[in-house]
Structure 1
Amino acid sequence: MKNKSFIKNKLKLALFAPAICFSLMLTSCEKETVELDPFDRLTEASAFTTPERVELAVAGVYDAAQSGFYAGGAVRGYPFGAAHVEQGDMRGEDMLNLEAFYAITYGSTYNAASANNVYQFETLYSVINKANIVIEGVEKAVKDGLITAEVGNAYLGEVRMLRALSNHELLVHFARPYNHTPDASHPGVPIRTIPVNTPARVEEASQQGRNTVKEGYTAILADLDYAEQNLPETRAAGAKISRATKGAAIALKSRVKLHMQDWAGVIAEGDKLISGDEEFTSPIGGYALTASPNGMWGSAASSNTESIFSFMNTSNDNASVNGSLGQMYNANTGGRALVAISPIIWNATFWPAEDIRRENTVKTARAIFTNKYRDAQTQTDWSPIVRYAEVLLNVAEAESRLGNSDRALDLLNAVRGRATDEVYSGLSGDALTQAIVNERRIEFLGEGIRWKDIHRLAKEGKFGPAGIPAKVPSSSNHIPQYEAGTGKAVDTSAIPFIPYEDFRFIWPIPVSEISSNPVLAAQQNPGY
C-alpha cells in the first residue's frame, strides 16, 4: 500500500463500546463513540478482516501518536505531533515561554487536573491501548492466514516501537529517573500489554497499579528489541523517516540505555549505526549528518539523511493553530510566536557567537526564535523524535563516561564541527562529559529533548541542574538580555530553581485516572 494511503489518509481505529477506554477517560470515550460506523474509521470488529484494513489499523496507532484528542475533542499535537516538543522544552530553561499558553508547565504550577500534563498522560496511554489492540488483531490475522507471519511481525514491530516510545515518555514525566534508587525499584507507571476493549478488561485495568521503573525499562527494551529484529532497514521516500524502521528502534535503544546509565549498552546499540572514524555514517539505513546543521528542517524534513524518525504533519492533519510547532515557535508571518529561545542558552559561553546554528533563528522586537519550524500557514512541519546527531552524542557521552576520550571527542566534534571551527581538543573526564551535555543543549534546542536530559542527570547533579532549572520570566522586551556567547547573566529570580527532591520534579497522575482506579489513587506521586 502506498505511503500516502498509510500516513496521509490514516483511518482511525475506533473503540466503539462506550465503556472501553484505556485510561478510563470519559472525554476521550465520548469522542470515539459519537458514531458507531463512520465512513472514515475502522471499528475494531472490521479492522482485521482484510490485509488492507490490517495495515490501516496499524496506521491508526500512528494517528493516535501524532494527533490524540485534547479537551473537547480538539487536536493540539498530543502526544507526539507537537506536544512532546513543547512540553519537553517548557520544563527546561533553554526555551522561553512568552504568554500564558505554557505558563503552568514553565512555572511548574501543575496539579492533577492541569491540562497539559493530564492530556499528555491520557493520549500516551491511548497510543499504548491502540497498539495493544492492533497487536492482538495482527496476531489473529496471522493465525487465520490473512497475512503472512513476515508481514505480521513487521506490523508488530511498528506498533511495539510506538508503544515503547510512549512508555518512555511517560516515565520521564511521571516517574523519578532510573538511577533514583540503586536497583530502579521505585514507582514507575502502569505497563499495559493487554488491550482494554471489553468490560472485563476495563475492570482489570481499573485495579492495576504502577510497575517499578526497572520493569518499565525492561518492557521498553523488549519492545524495541522486537522492533529491531522485525522492521525493515529502510523504506521508500518520506516513509523512511515517518514510519518505524530498524534504525529507529536501535536509535531509541541508545537513548533508553543512556537514561539507564548503561554506558556499554549505549555503545553497543549506537555502534550498529556508526561506521567511520571522523565522518560517520550508518550501515543500517544510510544515516549521516547533513552537511549543514540546519539541513533537516522545512521542506527537507521528509528527505534528509539525518532524521531517523519523525511524525509527519500535513495541511489537513496537524496540531492546529493552537498546538502546531509552526504556530508556537515561529515568528514569521502567521506564527503566534509563543515560545522563544531563552537568553540563558543564547548567552552561554560554550555556544560560540559565530556558530552557524545561530543563523537558523528569527529576531523580532521582543525576542529571538528558532526557525526549525517554518510553516505557520499550513502547519506541515514534521515533529522530530530522533536524529543521527543524537545517536552520535549518546555514544560520545557513554564513551566519555567509560574513559574513552579520543573516540568521545571524535563523535562530539563531528556534530559540533559542522557548525563552528571552535571544536574541542584535549578534554577528558568530567570536563568532556560536560562539553557533550552542553552540545546537546545547542544541537537539540527547540526539539523537546532538554527535559529528558535534565531528568536523567538531575539525581547525579554534576552535569546540569540538580532539579528543575531557574528560568527567565516573560516580559514585553527580552532583546536587551541577548548577548551571544558572552556569558551575560539574566534575572531568573521570578522563576527560581526547584531542587530534585521537590515533589514538582515529576508530574502527578491525573485525577481522571485515580478517580477510577483506587490502586493508583493510593500510589499518587507524593505532594499531590
Structure 2
Amino acid sequence: MLLSLGLWLGSCQVNDLQPQTALSETTAFQTPERLELTVAGVYDGAQSGFYNGSLTTGVVRGYPFGAAHLEQGDMRGEDMVSVQAFYAVTYRSTYDASSPNNGFFWQTTYAMINRANVVLAGLETAKPTAALTQAQIDAYKGEMRFLRALGHHYLLVFFARPFGDNPTAANGGIPYRTQPVTGGATVDQVVQQGRNTVSECYDKLIEDLNYAESVLPATRTNKITRATQGAAIALKMRVRLHQNNWAEVIKEGNKLVPATGALTSPIGAYQLTASPLGAFGAGNKNNTESIFSIENNDVDNGGVNGAPASMYNASGVGGRGIIAISPILWNQPFFPATDLRKSAAAVASDAPSAAGRGGNFSRKYVDVVNRSDNAPIIRYAEVLLTMAEALARTTPSDPRALTLLSAVRNRANTDAASQYTAASFATGTDLVRAIINERRPEFLAEGMRWLDIHRLSTDATYRQATGIPAKANNTILNFAPLYTNNPATTFALLPAIAYTDRLFVWPLPQEEILNNPVLSKQQNPGY
C-alpha cells in the first residue's frame, strides 16, 4: 500500500525539535498541543520522505519537498547539469516505471497528502475551546489544504501533460485525493481511485487554495516555513500561470503587488531583498523575500545524498560537486558576465577530478556541515515575474510589466548596459520573452526549470523546446572551459526529446500499478 496510513511523527520533527512519539488518530486532536504536533507531522511528511525503503525507513533524501524536488526539477531541464552519475537517470531521461526517483516522489507526495487528509478529517471533530478557537481550527485546515494543493500540483507537472494540451481528456491528470486512508473500507475505496482529468485537478487546486487564503493568517512567527495567506495567493498565481489564465494571475497578483510605489506586499509585507542572494545563505531562515520554504535543520535534513548544500555546492567549498550550472544557461546573452548571480559570492568552481567533471556550482545553499538550508518553494521574485508575464501577455509592452521585470533583474545587474528600458524591446513579444528568460538565472538551483518547460511546452510562441530540451552531455570530461559567456560556444549535447515522446511525462510507478486495479489501466501511454 503506497499511502501513509497514520500520523507518524517520528523524532526531531521539523518545526518542533523535541523528540515526539506517535499519536493515534483518536488522541491527536484532543488537546491544542497534540494538534500542533500532528500538523507539524504533515510538514515533516513534506520534508523528510524516504528513498529506497518504506515510507518510514530507508535513506532520507528529502522527498518530496525537503530537497528532492529541487534536484529533480533541475535535472529534468537544461540549465543545470549532472556532472556525476547521481541523477543521470533523470537527467538523461532513461527512467521507466520501476525507477526509484520518480517512484518515491509519487509515494512520498501521496503519503504527505494522506497525512493532510487525515488531519482534515480529525479537525472536523475538533470542538472550539478557550484554548483552541474556531479560527485556529480553520487555520489548521488551511495549512493542510495548502500542502495538499502543493503536492497535487507537482504531481501534475511530473506525471501529466500540461493544462494547455487537452485538459478535459479522460484520465489525463492524476488522482486528486481528498479522502483519508485510515484503514478498513477506506483503504479499498481510495486505492481504487482513478485519474481525474487535468481540468478537474486544477479546479480542485483552486478550491483548496481559495479556502486556504480565506482562513490562513497574513503573517506568523515562523512565517517562512508555515503556510500563510500570502503563500496561498502566491501558489494560486503559479497554478493560474500553468493554466494560461492571465486575468486570474493579475487578479491574485494585485493582492500581493502594489500598483505603484515601493514593491512591498500589502499582505505579509514581502519585498525583494537587496541582494539576489538575500534569501539564501545567512538569510535562508529569516528574510523578507521567502514566502514559503520547507524547513531543514541540523538533525532533520536530506542527508549527504539529498541536501541542497551537498548536491549543488562545489567540492572545493565542501559540497559533493554533483549538480553544476550548465554552460547552456551560463552562456546565454540575457545572463551577462557582470550579473551578480555569476559573482564569486554566488558561484564556486571545481576543476575536473577523479570524482567529477568540474564546472561552476551555485552557492545558494551554504551549510555543507549541518545541511540545514531550507528548501525554497515560493519567493517574492516569482510573484513579481509571474505578475509581469501576465501583464505583458495581456497588454503588449505594458509599462508595469517592465517595472516588475526590472525590479528583479536590476538588483543582479547593476550596470546600466545590462538593464532593460522600454527601448530594449521592439515588440511586446520581446518583453514577454525577456520575462520568461529572466526566470532561468533567477531560479537556478531551485527546481523551477521543469515547471516552466512543462507549462510552456504547448505555447507556440514562447515554448522553451519542443519537449525535453537538448542538454549538455554529462559525459563531457572537463566542463571548466565551457563557461565562456559567449552564446556561440559549442559542446556535446544530449539530443532533445520530442513533446510527443512518452518520456515527456513520468510513468506511473510500477508498485502503484500493481496495487491499484484502476490505475493499472490508466498508465501513461507508451510505458
Q: Aligned partners of 2:72 and 2:163: how far apart in 1?
A: 20
Q: Secondary structure at the match of 1:447?
A: coil
Counterpart in the other structure of 2:442: 443
Counterpart in the other structure of 2:375: 383
Counterpart in the other structure of 1:66: 47
Q: Secondary structure at the match of 2:293?
A: strand
* Match 1:419 to one of 412, 420, 431: 412
The Cα shift of 1:115 comes to: 0.7
Of 330-339 and 464-473, more deviation after overlay is shown by: 330-339
1:509 matched to 2:508? The reply is yes
Deviations 1:102-128 (A, max 9, x none): 000000011111011000000110011
Please tell me whether the aligned partners of residues 457 and 466 of structure 1 are also in contact (alpha carbons under 8 angstroms): no
Deviations 1:72-96 (A, max 9, x none): 2221000000011000000000001
* Match 2:173 to one of 188, 198, 218: 188
Q: Aligned partners of 1:56 and 1:357: how far apart in 2?
A: 39
Q: How does 1:4-43 map to 2 (within 5 A)?
A: 21=1, 23-24=2-3, 40-43=21-24
Deviations 1:267-287 (A, max 9, x none): 111110011536411011000
Counterpart in the other structure of 1:349: 333
Q: Aligned partners of 1:198 and 1:31: how far apart in 2?
A: 12
TM-score between both structures, scaled by the size of structure 2: 0.91
Please tell me whether the aligned partners of residues 9 and 41 of structure 2 are also in contact (alpha carbons under 8 angstroms): no
Give the letter for the 1:284 counterpart: I
Q: Aligned partners of 2:167 and 2:374: how far apart in 1?
A: 38
Give the letter for the 2:347 counterpart: T
1:312 matched to 2:305? The reply is no
Counterpart in the other structure of 1:151: 136
Counterpart in the other structure of 2:88: 103
Counterpart in the other structure of 1:369: 361
Taking a change above 3 Å as real, the CA distance of residues 62 and 30 of structure 1, as seen in their structure-2 partners, is closer
Please tell me whether the aligned partners of residues 179 and 190 of structure 2 are also in contact (alpha carbons under 8 angstroms): no
Extract unaligned runs of 5+ from structure 2.
12-18, 352-357
Extract unaligned runs of 5+ from structure 1.
1-20
Counterpart in the other structure of 2:65: 80
Q: Secondary structure at the match of 1:518?
A: coil
Taking a change above 3 Å as real, the CA distance of residues 492 and 216 of structure 1, as seen in their structure-2 partners, is farther
Q: Aligned partners of 1:290 and 1:483: how far apart in 2?
A: 29
Give the letter for the 1:456 counterpart: R
Q: Aligned partners of 2:38 and 2:177: how far apart in 1?
A: 19
Counterpart in the other structure of 2:354: none
Taking a change above 3 Å as real, the CA distance of residues 135 and 161 of structure 1, as seen in their structure-2 partners, is same
Counterpart in the other structure of 2:393: 401
Deviations 1:327-384 (A, max 9, x none): 0011144311110000000000111110111111001212100000111111011100
Counterpart in the other structure of 1:462: 461
Counterpart in the other structure of 2:15: none
Deviations 1:178-237 (A, max 9, x none): 01026566610001111011221111122211000011111111111111110110112x
Q: Secondary structure at the match of 1:515?
A: helix
Counterpart in the other structure of 1:488: 488
Please tell me whether the aligned partners of residues 328 and 472 of structure 2 are also in contact (alpha carbons under 8 angstroms): yes
Deviations 1:434-474 (A, max 9, x none): 11110000100110000000000011143211210111122
Q: Secondary structure at the match of 2:361?
A: strand
1:55 matched to 2:36? The reply is yes
The Cα shift of 1:46 comes to: 2.1
* Match 2:75 to one of 90, 93, 100: 90
Deviations 1:459-497 (A, max 9, x none): 11432112101111223310111112x21333344x210
Please tell me whether the aligned partners of residues 60 and 302 of structure 2 are also in contact (alpha carbons under 8 angstroms): yes
Q: Aligned partners of 1:288 and 1:186: how far apart in 2?
A: 40
Please tell me whether the aligned partners of residues 233 and 245 of structure 1 are also in contact (alpha carbons under 8 angstroms): yes
Please tell me whether the aligned partners of residues 278 and 411 of structure 1 are also in contact (alpha carbons under 8 angstroms): no
The percentage of aligned residue pairs carrying the same residue is 53
Of 221-230 and 455-464, more deviation after overlay is shown by: 455-464
Of 460-469 and 312-321, more deviation after overlay is shown by: 460-469
RMSD of aligned residue pairs (Cα, Å) = 2.0
Q: Aligned partners of 1:448 and 1:240: how far apart in 2?
A: 22
Give the letter for the 2:52 counterpart: A
Give the letter for the 2:215 counterpart: N
Taking a change above 3 Å as real, the CA distance of residues 243 and 439 of structure 1, as seen in their structure-2 partners, is same
Deviations 1:145-184 (A, max 9, x none): 9832111000000111000000000000000000102656
Give the letter for the 2:490 counterpart: V
Q: Aligned partners of 2:37 and 2:20: how far apart in 1?
A: 13
Q: Aligned partners of 2:10 and 2:435: how far apart in 1?
A: 50
Please tell me whether the aligned partners of residues 241 and 302 of structure 1 are also in contact (alpha carbons under 8 angstroms): yes
Counterpart in the other structure of 2:282: 299
Please tell me whether the aligned partners of residues 167 and 197 of structure 2 are also in contact (alpha carbons under 8 angstroms): no
Give the letter for the 2:289 counterpart: E
Q: How does 1:195-344 map to 2 (within 5 A)?
A: 195-236=180-221, 239-277=222-260, 279-331=262-314, 332-344=316-328
Q: Aligned partners of 1:146 and 1:516: how far apart in 2?
A: 43
Please tell me whether the aligned partners of residues 5 and 183 of structure 2 are also in contact (alpha carbons under 8 angstroms): no
The Cα shift of 1:298 comes to: 1.2
Please tell me whether the aligned partners of residues 168 and 198 of structure 2 are also in contact (alpha carbons under 8 angstroms): no
Taking a change above 3 Å as real, the CA distance of residues 519 and 144 of structure 1, as seen in their structure-2 partners, is farther
1:130 matched to 2:115? The reply is yes
The Cα shift of 1:31 comes to: 12
Please tell me whether the aligned partners of residues 277 and 410 of structure 1 are also in contact (alpha carbons under 8 angstroms): no
Taking a change above 3 Å as real, the CA distance of residues 304 and 146 of structure 1, as seen in their structure-2 partners, is closer
Counterpart in the other structure of 1:178: 163
Please tell me whether the aligned partners of residues 86 and 448 of structure 1 are also in contact (alpha carbons under 8 angstroms): yes
The Cα shift of 1:44 comes to: 2.1
Please tell me whether the aligned partners of residues 472 and 492 of structure 2 are also in contact (alpha carbons under 8 angstroms): yes
Give the letter for the 2:39 counterpart: V
Q: Aligned partners of 1:34 and 1:419: how far apart in 2?
A: 41
Q: Secondary structure at the match of 1:180?
A: coil
